[in-house]
């Protein structure tokens, strides 16, 4: 069963573009991950946050992705400039294009 999640990440003031660049790097890296079905990086129009929509082949696939070197490196880069991380939803994809 595919497994999806939506995260809302907010940078410390003045660092949104830096955070965006890191997440766009993550998007490129996740394209190479066969178990990553979708990874979309979106700039919020509500506030200064960045909204990431992800779908993985399974919950385990997502869990395993957190131990990838790429992921650990990107998380290490982002952590110092992160003011907040919020999970907006966790879901099972059903249909759509």
Q: Residues with Cβ < 8 Å from 62, sequence gap 6 or more?
A: 3, 5, 54, 56
Among 44, 58, 63, 84, binds a second copy (CB under 8 A): 44
- State the minimum distance, in angstroms, from the CB of residue 62 to a second copy: 12
Q: CB-wise, 67 or 95, nearer to a second copy? A: 95
Q: Measure the CA–CA gap between 88 and 74, rounded to whole angstroms.
A: 21
Q: What character string, x for contact with a second copy (CB under 8 A) and - otherwise, covers 10-39?
A: ----------x---x--xx-xx------xx
Q: Measure the CA–CA gap between 38 and 97, rounded to whole angstroms.
A: 11
- Chain residues that interact with a second copy, rule: CB under 8 A: 3-4, 6, 8, 20, 24, 27-28, 30-31, 38-46, 49, 51, 53, 88-97
């Amino acid at each position: 069963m595919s497994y999806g999640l939506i995260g809302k990440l907010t940078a410390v003031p003045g660092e949104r573009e830096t955070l965006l660049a890191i997440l766009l790097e993550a998007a490129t890296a996740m394209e190479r991950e066969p178990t990553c079905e979708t990874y979309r990086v979106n700039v919020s129009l509500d506030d200064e946050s960045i909204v990431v929509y992800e779908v993985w082949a399974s919950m385990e696939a997502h869990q395993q992705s957190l131990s990838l070197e790429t992921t650990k490196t990107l998380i290490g880069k982002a952590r110092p400039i992160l003011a907040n991380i919020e999970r907006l939803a966790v879901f099972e994809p059903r249909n759509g294009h």
